[in-house]
Chains A and B, each alone.
Chain A
Amino acid sequence: MDQRDLVKRAQQGDQDAFAVLAGAAVARLDAAARLILRDSELARDAVQDSMVRAWRDLPGLRDPDRFTPWLHRLTVNACLDVARRRRRRSIEVELTPIAMPSVADATAEFADRELIDDALRQLEPEFRAVVVLHYFLGMPLQDVAVSMRIPVGTVKSRLHRALRTMRVTLESADETPEAVPGGQFA
């Protein structure tokens, strides 16, 4: 059964069909939410909220083929809602640990990953959301604009600013002597 049929069945109240759809999407949505929120617990709240909302509002989805971008939009909006609520208290909490590198992955690429992780953390959630939707979930900029209900120009602007932050982070790391164990500089 293809996704369109599953969506149609879920729209008619079939929870098993919804479980299949949700199961196929949840790993990526959880990862996207962790990237946007930089916190596993908050990501869990956002994904749960978006999934329950997706089930509740699914009968209103007019085009079953738009299920995936629609679900992405619900998740991003849930993330931004969580971030807005959290921002009032301005708490930086546990950061998702970076996956341990394989042997082949151990050098420059892993260092870049850490730096990008740092750069992402410096961005506002609205900026991270644009990066995640475009570069992680692979959405065209036009779809990002629709999902976030912002002009495509704003999407590009946010992306421009986010990429600039990352480039500056990487370039400044290039100019800084590399740290060696023991706290000395090489």
Chain B
Amino acid sequence: MRAARPVESRLPEILEGISAPRTPDYFDDILGQVGRTRQRPRWTFPERWLPMTALSERVATAPRIPMRMAVVLALLLLALALSIVLIAGSQRPSVPAPFGVAGNGKVVFADQSGAIVTGNVSDGTTKVIVSGSGHSRPVFSPDGTLLAYLQRGGRDIVVSDPDGLSPRVLNTNALGTIGHFGWAPDSRSVIAVIGSDIIAFDAARAREPKVIVKADGGTSFSYLDRFNNNLSDLFRPPNGDEILFVGKGPKGMGLYRKPLAGGAPIAVVTDQDLDSTWSSNQSGAQWSPDGTKIVFSVHPAATPDFGFAYVANADGTDLRRLTKFDIPDAVIDEEHASWSPDGTRIALARWINYPDGNVDPRPVVIVDVATGHEVEASNREVNGYNGWSWSPDGSLILEVPGDGSDDAAKVMQVDAGTGQASELGWTSPNAASWQRTVPTN
């Protein structure tokens, strides 16, 4: 018989026994190699060379002009601007609003070879729009008119037409590790988090990259959600004037709002409100589509690796756990919560951790925010997810089950009303992005 303790509680000592740590006999070789290797100069790291224009920009001082002339000039400029808007508006196709419900366009994903592929959910057809390897994280702009993705293993940011044509690289030097990646709400800038700085890359390449939020260097904080493909979620609807981050602020460690125009962070929920373990890598926090509420996962102090999903108003009031799901003695873990485009439902991942050490990863759960009614997507065996996304009309969820699942890397569509899941016949290591279009009715 084996020892009665569960395997995970004995693993540290067993691994110590298997590996028997000792200083390896090649340590001197390492030091020799180090002695022959030059360090990279500091300026070669991306965080050092990206222009810090946001921090140093100053408004140019205009020469003094007479008041009457200024009024006339302003009226003329206003008339000119209005005519430009009217002409442009009559020529451009209408685009959906950056937040809320929209029509379902194409789906884009990187396949397992590293090519960029678009798919049509209605008939299951696909088309490789960017061939070759090393491409990843494609995401449509909120207005559906552009596509951004990474190439060369994440060293370049590329923007193209939605069909992959007219690609242009937005950076001039190879980039470092990119955390968040997505679009600004106005669809004019691609947003990437490098280090702890949020950097906007002009999609038209008309301007230099601009740091829109810079870490102060003394406080460790992270922007949410680090692994979410769609960074638009980061900006508060409808104006995109605030972002969310987890960090240490005036009210302790917790979830804060940061106004992009500057000013002190505003506490939403901190460890003063919840007996919780905040991490610089929370598994998700997201604004509701109307910008009035936030859903997030936080880890109770007693079980720091497992989190509950909570909903609160943007000012932290009306804080409550999203679901009432509970199993006596089991630890419930609810993460990666994501609002439906109409703001009425939230999809989340759930793990049930039983006291005997068994873990039951459940299929995606769709929760009605008002009533708490739940729909669990199918009864398939899953093992967590590599990502999911709501369809812009809120009727479907695209999901990619995680490693080790029978359906690993298969892009599945789930009916958000019934939970019925079906395979699309596509494979991708990560989440897919759905193009937003103008609703047809």
Q: Is the CB of A153 within 8 A of B336?
A: yes
Q: What number of B residues sit within 8 Å (CB to CB) of A?
A: 69
Q: Is the CB of B404 within 8 A of A158?
A: yes
- In Å, the complex CA distance between A120 and B39 comes to 36
Give the distance to chain B from A26, nearest Cβ to Cβ, in Å.
5
Q: A28-B21, A44-B24, A141-B305 are in contact. Are A156 and B15 (CB under 8 A)?
A: no
- Which residues 270-293 in B have Cβ within 8 Å of A in the complex? 279-283
- Which residues 94-115 in A have Cβ within 8 Å of B in the complex? 96, 98-99, 105, 108-109, 111-113
Q: A19-B31, A60-B45, A157-B402 are in contact. Are A135 and B15 (CB under 8 A)?
A: yes
Give the distance to chain B from A52, nearest Cβ to Cβ, in Å.
5
- In Å, the complex CA distance between A116 and B29 comes to 32
Describe A's contact surface by its main secondary structure: helix
Against B, the Cβ 8 Å flags (1 = close, 0 = not) of A45-69 are: 0011001100111111011000000
Against A, the Cβ 8 Å flags (1 = close, 0 = not) of B185-198 are: 00000000001100
Q: What number of A residues sit within 8 Å (CB to CB) of B?
A: 70
Task: State which of B138-146, B202-210, B321-329, B381-389 sits at the interface with chain A.
Answer: B381-389
* B10 contacts A by Cβ under 8 Å: yes
- In Å, the complex CA distance between A58 and B41 comes to 9
Which of A52, A112, A120, A150 touches B2 (beta carbons < 8 Å)? A112
Binding site for B on A (CB under 8 A): 13, 15, 18-19, 22-23, 26-28, 30-32, 34-35, 44, 47-48, 51-52, 55-60, 62-63, 96, 98-99, 105, 108-109, 111-113, 116-117, 120, 126-127, 131-132, 135-136, 138, 140-143, 145-146, 149-154, 156-158, 160-161, 163-164, 166-167, 170, 173-174
Binding site for A on B (CB under 8 A): 1-3, 7-8, 10-12, 14-24, 26-27, 29-31, 33-35, 37-42, 44-45, 47-48, 176-177, 195-196, 217, 220, 226-227, 279-283, 304-305, 333, 335-336, 349, 351, 357, 359, 361, 383-387, 402-405
23 A-B pairs (CB sep. < 8 Å): A22-B34, A23-B27, A26-B23, A34-B19, A35-B15, A44-B26, A48-B29, A51-B30, A57-B40, A59-B40, A59-B45, A60-B40, A60-B47, A108-B3, A116-B7, A131-B11, A136-B11, A136-B12, A152-B281, A160-B351, A160-B359, A164-B359, A170-B7
